[in-house]
Amino acid sequence: MSLPKATTGYRERFIACWQAGRRPAGRGFVARLRDVVAEAAQAGAALLVTPELSATGYQLGRGRTRQVAEPADGPLRDAVSALAQASGVSIVYGWPEAADGVLYNSVHLIDATGRVAAHYRKTHLYGEFDAGTFAAGSDPVVQARIGGRTVGLVICYDVEFPELVRAHALAGTELLAVPTALTRPWEFVARTLVPARAFESQLFIAYVNWTDTEPDGYCGLSRLVGPDGLPLAEAAGGEAVLIGRLDPAALAAARRATPYLLDRRPDLYGALTDRQAPASRESS
């Protein structure tokens, strides 16, 4: 069965965000992704963003993560590239990348021709699983042109650092894709912090999470946020495919109304951001 192509008249205006439930990895992921890509294409989306480590799931444990890891040019890349090319929908997906004897928490942005347009490795590692399993990436700003827009990539905890998001804005990122694996009780990150990041750096953010019903599990709350900090599409719990429109006029309007990027004073505080954080009370 051939996948429907994204409707030509909408390709530069819509993106899709897949809030995924727990799914089998490997072939199970590719089969499910095929259905989601078809839904996104039918809706006219030019881009589909999936959660953090969407190909395998998160919190597998170090040993299992190493077992399912693949190089950047492995068979998973080939399978997702074929889906993108068949549908005309660009795809952001995550997987544990094996490279140089270590693992990275990585994402690929595959464009509508099936080409790897961008490859990003998570730069800020959170908690014991992340820091104990993966090496940190060293490229802070990774971008690609997709559907006439500059799309940047970060992963989960990365978006909680205003310096990194601001660096994307200054580099011309218009849409920041943020695959994530946010658990309870950290819902305020999705509800409060992500809209604040979009507002203060005046860009669109697609924040895309897993979902489940466990008390300390993934909280859902995926959302597409505009540069005014307001949601364009959002989900609560449960699996969902969000479709949102990116209006380029909204970027210009936000930057006119509150010219943060123009009014910055890096001469005053640029050197301050290089300082080491003060020691915590526990370590002092």
- Catalytic residue numbers read 52, 122, 156
- Asked if the bond preceding 227 is cis, omega within 30° of 0, the reply is no
At 55, list the tokens. Answer: 């190909």
Name residue 260's amino acid. Y
CB atoms near residue 225 (< 10 Å): 26
> Left (φ > 0), alpha (ψ -120 to 50) or beta: where does 61 sit?
left
Report which DSSP code applies to 211.
B
Report which DSSP code applies to 172.
T
- Measure the CA dihedral 120/124/125/131, to 10°: 90
Between helix 162-170 and helix 194-201 the angle, nearest 10°, is: 40
